[in-house]
Structure 1
Amino acid sequence: MLPISRRSLLHGVAGAGVLPFLGIGPATTAASEDTPSPRWVGAGPFTYVHDPSTSNGPRYLNDHTLVHARGRWHLFGIVGDSAPRGESPDSSAEISFAHASAPSPHGPWTSHADALTVDPSYFGEEHLWAPHVVEADGRFWMFYAAGGERGAAINLATSTDLFTWTREPSGPLFRGLAARDPMVLRVGGEWVMYYTELSDVGGHHVVAYRRSADLLRWSEPGVAFTDASTDATVSVTESPYVVQRDGWYYLFIGPRNGYEGTDVLASRDPFRFELAGYAGHVPGHAVEVVADGERWYVSAAGWFRNGLYVAPLYWRDSPAPWQSPDNPVAGLDVHGRLTVFALDAADRSMLRRVQLDPYTDAWSEWETFGGPAGAVPTLGRDTDGRLEVFSIAPGGVHLNHRVQRPDGGWHDWTGFGGPAGAAPAVARAASGRLEVFAPSPGGASVARRRQRAPGSPAWDPWEPGFGGAAGAPPVVAANADGRLEAFVLSPGGSGVIHRWQEAADGPWTAAWHPFGTAAGAAPRVAVDGSGRLSVAAIGPSGVGTFVRRQTVPSGGWDEWLPLFGWSAGAPAFAANADGRLEAFSLAPGGARLSHRWQVAPGGNWAPGGEFGEPGIRLVATPTAALDPAGRLHVFAVTVAGGIRTRVQDRPNGGWRPWTAFGDRAVAPLVSSSPAF
């Protein structure tokens, strides 16, 4: 394999670089000089287009398929009864396929009778999962996953009208260790089926493939992609979907970056994909890709959504930037006033709102502060209290920087380098100098830059080789002894790694060190009143949130412990006035917000409970910040783009009801996820 080639970070070059060639497969031809570079893939906003619920109650869709035939689009998908807010349903109860049709992917969709229901007499079927339909030889062929005591199986049913389906009389096409989620593509002169599998008992999760000339007889399996994690983790090699475009093959695979996320890998070879071919991200679960004329769409569904969502699919020359970890972002300014920054929903200009009186909760109106921006900014605070704002331009072509004056006013925006993959993480070193850490476009590397002196307008040059490839933007915090420590997600979520200063304001460890097993998204880090750091990360697919705490300030680390159940991302942390951390975790789909807190600084966590508003769905993990009166404020963005806030009634105390935070609509960006 040729080494990956990406243009250097933050040296004024706006291009995205070139993905590596990953080999030539039996069904491909050698790349020529005319072969274009692969495109970067992303999606626009998802639109809710179909509710599969019935008079018996709400239902969800999961893995599904869309097929265009005879002038209409047809949808077939796993269907089940929705679980209570924030909880996952019983997948063993998924025993039928919903069916609906529409004139376009955006609808209007008409529900039909369920297309297929489990038949235990048919070779021991116990469930129906992940249908995929293709049209060939005058028939429609539905491949789906089923199984039982005899093991996982890929089954087949056929139809001539898309309404009446007949199972293949000879039984399953083949069985496997964990065979599921089939997808069939025409490659050259043969059919290729991609599906989820295990490499061996206790082995790795893989995307396997088989070949066929007639859709009935299939070859022995090969492996198209192997996940770096083992069966000790939840699989993130689900729902494979392969698209061919301009001589390249694109593998869509998830759940990555949480339950509602799908990564895209590009390859010249349809039988070999690697993480080095990372080509983008779609913030949806179990996605399917369809083309309607010249337009490309991606559909998504899942346990925590009541139905089908559709978004435009984009093919770009450069990667989209990751979003900032907080939306909105908040911090204290030079006068100690809590200040909130967000992006306008209409034009993505930067907005600012300032707390005028922490004792009466009086706030300024929203005002334009700059932009447009590619993500919500990140904040640093100098030793004299002045805020420094770091913003990424649309498309990640460069970073911008704005500094507060001692009188509370602001200097003009200035360039801060580029291109970049996200607004940088910011921390203050023991010397008082700010240090920033930013991933390159697409996460091929991490760069570092620091002030030349505390509060200085001058900065050292970027250090582009601070870290290797990253699966998400880094996070950084200061130890009790002043040493900075950085944490980053490995590509593909195979683990969390960390690197630290060996002495306060001194050199960093020569290499990154493992910090945990596979993780589902970017971690979070915070310091509590005891001086100990705590790091939280979600498990693969977002099945739960786990926290790891320093044994002593600036020292080693305790074991990982569970903190929350199903989570969309790592929780927001904030320290109370008495130093106790509070944590806020959003469930996938945004319907449930959970809350826990330390019973003492550095201590154990109280059980906690529900913190959100019934009927209000959020788009990202909220932001929490302490005001000068010692009260925590929580800010959350709703699906409609409004900001809601909840405030402690007194320092370290209980909470007032949720209220609206101004009437300005803000961009409902998905936290810590690349998005167009």
Structure 2
Amino acid sequence: MQPISRRNLLLAGTGAGTLALLGAGRAAASADVPPHRWIGAGSFRHVHDPSTPGRRRYLNDHTLIRAGDRWHVFGIVGDSAATGDAPDSAAEISFAHASAPHPYGPWTAHADALTVDPGYHGEEHLWAPHVIEAGGTYWMFYAAGGRGGAAINLATSTDLTTWTRVPSGPLFRGRAARDPMVVRIGGEWVMYYTELSAVDGRHLVCHRRSADLLHWSEPGVAYADETTDATGVSVTESPFVVERDGWYYLFIGPRGGYDGTDVLASRDPFRFSLDGYAGHVPGHAVEPFTDGQQWYASAAGWFRHGLYVAPLHWQDAPPPWQSPDNPVAALDVQGRLTVFALDAGDRSLLRRVQLAPDTDSWSEWERFGGPAGAVPTLGRNTNGRLEVFSLAPGGANLHHRVQRPDGGWYDWEEFGGPAGAAPAVARNADGRLEVFVLSPGGTLIARRRQWSPGALTWDPWDAGFGGPAGAPPVVAANADGRFEVFALTPGGTALLHRWQETPGGAWSPWNRFGTAAGAAPRVARDGSGRLTVTAIGPSGLGAFHRRQSVPSGGWDDWRPLFGWSAAAPLLVPSADGRLEAIALSPGGERLAHRWQLAPGGAWDPGADFGEPGVTLAAPPSAAADATGRIHVFAVTVEGRVRTRVQVRPSSGWQPWTGFGDRLLAPLPSGAPAP
């Protein structure tokens, strides 16, 4: 039998504009138990780097515990791979250890806590430590194993420095048992860990029970993912369960890309399902913890450099999603490229305008609206007037603002609500704008369209268009004018699509468009008239594309496009109709670029597109100006905006430059509304 590596395991309404039917979709609660809370997180701060002189290292699955007046962290540690690449998880053979007086530091590194011992029942790796205190002893549960199979092992300590493995060997073995965490529930200890089903290969979160932390029951299944091992990457990593006010919350990932963790709520600690979706935290291997006064979330991962900490929020309303584009840009009624973004300080909506359609000179940033819950989305009418669609803080409702023919703007108006994201917008075959919006918590997708092309009035909402969904929908028009809408199912178990059967006509049922996916897809139309969809696999292991065989027709098979990617690659057509694709690696350190050699044709192998030493907070956005030149916009982890512009339409690129002095809010999915 070949040695087991972590990588191998991973691969194994009304016309008045209200939208009352877009409910939050809470799990049901009994009369004496309040509804579950919704979970989101603030910005993550980098607090500890485990690197040593001449050796760049990362932390992955980790655990935090408070002892006296200090916090301690233990975690998988390894040597970082080349920028944007994943390391060899089989080489993860030790646990790093550091301590601090506060979760935000300062952190002091200590000697590695535990190193692999091949003589101890065939250990070949050390993964995912979890430490608790009981009876004056610290207990470290961790995943190990090798040729003898996956194992959950145990070491103990009285000082958090010297650790001794229990002489009896592994607590138990499994097919792919890993990522243990232990919590007290009622009068017994419960261990949650990940496993593969021996029946159908599905990824599971299993549980076992114990009275003494040494002897454990046979396993039960707390959560079963709908995908199977045959689909590729596990999305049942790093399970963590906490209880609050009679509800149990399971944190599990990677969801929404490598740096993402979903939360499922249940009244039963031994049974969780996607129906209990309760929020999202934008981090990898997230561990929730509290100092008794505040809640925090910690995160780490292969593509980061150490430990990150963020405030964890327990909310009455679901945290909003956002458009994948940030900032967002489009041509206005005067043919000037106009950029909209959110201020990092007060989340107010900002605008910046090209001074002339054929220049690189811009106005200063100016305030365009009050605080918003997500980056806005844009629509452009047949007469060129822009419409801006914004989500209110907390997702309470939608607003929109319409450009006047003279280039000025009408006042903001209510557009519907509540909502879980700013809507997807497209122009249909007869010139009317249509919007597609996700409800809070993703329970349904609603649709609304203009009364007539360019009109200021809109039809009533159709709240039964689709759903539930695991991310906001995306929409594009076929060459013949028929819409196609694409959506991610809850938990990322599949991609679905639905299309108009005739331009402006009836819609098909929802159909399966792809297997498990890691995030919402993107879609664009090239110069040949064919649509292309991009998506990432679960965990972001790879980025793929699928294009129409003929304009407005069927679809070719999925094909690889990039390696590890933080989100579905950006697609933007050049002036000559060739698509340009740009993908950001998890961690934000590498920006890759590929382009079609001809409209609808094969892809160039590509090249690096980013700036050395610059880390991005989120994938870039792009838009073409009136001359046809593409402008790419990206926000760094410091909130600075950088831009890169084609020299000429469909040509090469100028160097990256700054784009104004305002700091912008990336607002990753799951961030709390201001």
Query: Which residue matches 1:602?
Result: 600
- Cα deviation code 1:47-86 (max 9, x no counterpart): 1111111113111000000011122111100000111111
> Is 1:257 aligned to 2:265, yes or no?
no
Aligned-pair distance for 1:201?
Answer: 6.2
- Give the 5 Å matches for 1:84-483: 84-200=82-198, 203-232=201-230, 233-483=232-482
CA contact (8 A) 1:196 1:240 kept: yes
CA contact (8 A) 1:496 1:514 kept: yes
CA contact (8 A) 2:313 2:672 kept: no
CA contact (8 A) 2:643 2:659 kept: yes
Paired amino acid for 2:605 = P
Query: Which residue matches 2:19?
Result: 11
Alignment counterpart, residue 522 of structure 1, candidates 508, 520, 523 = 520
CA contact (8 A) 2:41 2:671 kept: no
CA contact (8 A) 1:620 1:669 kept: no
Paired amino acid for 1:390 = F
Aligned-pair distance for 1:15?
Answer: 6.9
- The whole-number CA distance in structure 2 between the counterparts of 1:601 and 1:383 is 25
- Give the 5 Å matches for 1:485-496: 485-496=484-495
CA contact (8 A) 1:426 1:436 kept: yes
Aligned-pair distance for 1:13?
Answer: 8.1
Query: Which residue matches 1:577?
Result: 575
CA contact (8 A) 2:376 2:422 kept: yes
SS at structure 2 position matched to 1:276? helix
Query: Which residue matches 2:68?
Result: 70
- The whole-number CA distance in structure 2 between the counterparts of 1:237 and 1:548 is 26
Aligned-pair distance for 1:570?
Answer: 0.6
- The whole-number CA distance in structure 2 between the counterparts of 1:138 and 1:359 is 71
SS at structure 1 position matched to 2:514? coil
SS at structure 2 position matched to 1:525? strand
SS at structure 1 position matched to 2:66? strand
Paired amino acid for 1:244 = E
SS at structure 1 position matched to 2:628? coil
CA contact (8 A) 1:635 1:643 kept: yes
- The whole-number CA distance in structure 1 between the counterparts of 2:141 and 2:268 is 24
**Against the structure 1 CA distance between its residues 673 and 316, is the aligned structure 2 distance closer, same or farther, given a 3 Å change threshold?**
closer
Aligned-pair distance for 1:294?
Answer: 1.5
Q: Which moved more, 1:255-264 or 1:371-380?
A: 371-380
Q: Percent identity?
A: 73
Q: CA RMSD in A?
A: 1.2
Aligned-pair distance for 1:674?
Answer: 5.2
- The whole-number CA distance in structure 2 between the counterparts of 1:137 and 1:458 is 68
- The whole-number CA distance in structure 2 between the counterparts of 1:562 and 1:202 is 27
Query: Which residue matches 2:13?
Result: none
Aligned-pair distance for 1:564?
Answer: 0.6
Paired amino acid for 1:643 = V
CA contact (8 A) 1:10 1:440 kept: no
Aligned-pair distance for 1:667?
Answer: 1.1
Alignment counterpart, residue 644 of structure 1, candidates 639, 642, 645 = 642
- Cα deviation code 1:410-434 (max 9, x no counterpart): 1111000110000000011101011
- The whole-number CA distance in structure 2 between the counterparts of 1:63 and 1:416 is 43
> Is 1:537 aligned to 2:545, yes or no?
no
Q: Which moved more, 1:357-366 or 1:182-191?
A: 357-366
Aligned-pair distance for 1:104?
Answer: 1.2
CA contact (8 A) 1:282 1:675 kept: no
Q: Which moved more, 1:275-284 or 1:53-62?
A: 53-62
CA contact (8 A) 2:41 2:670 kept: no
SS at structure 1 position matched to 2:447? strand
Paired amino acid for 1:646 = R
Alignment counterpart, residue 591 of structure 1, candidates 589, 592, 599 = 589
- The whole-number CA distance in structure 1 between the counterparts of 2:342 and 2:66 is 38
- The whole-number CA distance in structure 2 between the counterparts of 1:673 and 1:44 is 8
CA contact (8 A) 1:619 1:669 kept: no
CA contact (8 A) 1:433 1:455 kept: yes
**Against the structure 1 CA distance between its residues 371 and 14, is the aligned structure 2 distance closer, same or farther, given a 3 Å change threshold?**
farther
CA contact (8 A) 2:279 2:670 kept: no
Alignment counterpart, residue 20 of structure 1, candidates 23, 28, 32 = 28
- The whole-number CA distance in structure 2 between the counterparts of 1:11 and 1:169 is 62
- The whole-number CA distance in structure 1 between the counterparts of 2:672 and 2:236 is 21
Aligned-pair distance for 1:176?
Answer: 0.2
Query: Which residue matches 2:560?
Result: 562
CA contact (8 A) 2:332 2:385 kept: yes
> Is 1:668 aligned to 2:666, yes or no?
yes
- Cα deviation code 1:9-42 (max 9, x no counterpart): 9535897353136xxxxxxxxx5x2211100001
4+ aligned runs moved over 6 Å, structure 1: none
SS at structure 2 position matched to 1:515? strand
- The whole-number CA distance in structure 1 between the counterparts of 2:476 and 2:336 is 22
Aligned-pair distance for 1:527?
Answer: 0.4
- The whole-number CA distance in structure 2 between the counterparts of 1:667 and 1:412 is 24
CA contact (8 A) 2:373 2:393 kept: yes
Aligned-pair distance for 1:559?
Answer: 0.3
CA contact (8 A) 1:640 1:668 kept: no
- The whole-number CA distance in structure 1 between the counterparts of 2:599 and 2:562 is 19
- The whole-number CA distance in structure 2 between the counterparts of 1:648 and 1:358 is 14
CA contact (8 A) 2:23 2:439 kept: no
- The whole-number CA distance in structure 1 between the counterparts of 2:97 and 2:26 is 41
Aligned-pair distance for 1:470?
Answer: 0.4
- The whole-number CA distance in structure 2 between the counterparts of 1:10 and 1:120 is 64
SS at structure 2 position matched to 1:541? helix
- The whole-number CA distance in structure 1 between the counterparts of 2:657 and 2:470 is 35
Paired amino acid for 1:193 = M
Aligned-pair distance for 1:316?
Answer: 0.6
CA contact (8 A) 1:20 1:276 kept: no
- The whole-number CA distance in structure 2 between the counterparts of 1:261 and 1:17 is 21
Paired amino acid for 1:319 = P
- The whole-number CA distance in structure 2 between the counterparts of 1:201 and 1:512 is 29
CA contact (8 A) 2:333 2:384 kept: yes
CA contact (8 A) 2:576 2:599 kept: yes
Paired amino acid for 1:300 = A
SS at structure 2 position matched to 1:442? helix
- The whole-number CA distance in structure 2 between the counterparts of 1:412 and 1:633 is 28
- Cα deviation code 1:546-576 (max 9, x no counterpart): 0000000000000000001100001111100
SS at structure 1 position matched to 2:355? strand
- The whole-number CA distance in structure 2 between the counterparts of 1:549 and 1:109 is 49
Paired amino acid for 2:624 = L
- The whole-number CA distance in structure 2 between the counterparts of 1:505 and 1:605 is 33
Aligned-pair distance for 1:526?
Answer: 0.4
Aligned-pair distance for 1:346?
Answer: 1.1
Q: TM-score, normalised by structure 1?
A: 0.96
- The whole-number CA distance in structure 1 between the counterparts of 2:24 and 2:623 is 35
- The whole-number CA distance in structure 1 between the counterparts of 2:296 and 2:347 is 23
CA contact (8 A) 2:38 2:279 kept: yes
Q: TM-score, normalised by structure 2?
A: 0.96
